[in-house]
Amino acid sequence: METELKILLKSNIIEVCKQQQVKTIENLNHEMEDCQQKPNEYGAPKDRYDAFRAQMLRKRDFFAQQMQKANQELITLNAIKTSPLKKKIEFGAVVITDQQKYFVATSMGKVIIQDETYLCISPAVPIFKVLSGLKQGDITKFNENSIHIIDVF
């Protein structure tokens, strides 16, 4: 694959990941607002141990934590540069193997670019620890399976 096409593909992957992350943040914000609004509509606390109000506020706080994590992941995605291309498997690399296509950034799951599925993984997952530092043409094993690195960029 040509360098220009690799850069374009990588920028497309990053853009799709950013869009998904922004959507996640918007959904979490909506959930937080909903959890805040319900107790307000419910009225004054019924007693000192108002379980409904406490449950809604705990849910709001949970969504706030999730949103903080999602915002941090968006910052991480914004920090990834499309060039220069990576020569070895590290943070920000697109990795093509004989079994799977990976994008090393944050654990977002699958993204589909040009009818190809890329698995977004973080540097903290076990498969990255096995692949880290490998280059195009290297072969390694993970869970008794042999993995051949076809391309890294």
Percent of the chain with pLDDT over 90: 83
- The Cα 147–Cα 7 span in angstroms is 24
For residue 44, the model assigns a pLDDT of 74
Q: Please tell me whether residues 74 and 98 are part of one structural domain.
A: no
Burial of 87 (0-12, 13-18, 19+ CB in 10 A): exposed
* Bond prior to 84 in cis (omega within 30° of 0): yes
87 in a domain, yes or no? no
10 in a domain, yes or no? yes
Q: Please tell me whether residues 106 and 143 are part of one structural domain.
A: yes
Give mean pLDDT, residues 34-49: 79
42 in a domain, yes or no? yes
Range of the domain at 60: 3-78
Does this model's pTM top 0.85? My answer is yes
Q: How many domains does the chain have?
A: 2
83 in a domain, yes or no? no
Treating both helix axes as pointing N-terminal to C-terminal, what angle do 3-42 and 51-78 enclose, rounded to 10 degrees? Answer: 160
Q: Please tell me whether residues 63 and 127 are part of one structural domain.
A: no
Q: Please tell me whether residues 73 and 133 are part of one structural domain.
A: no
**Taking 80 as the threshold, does the pLDDT of residue 74 lie above it?**
yes
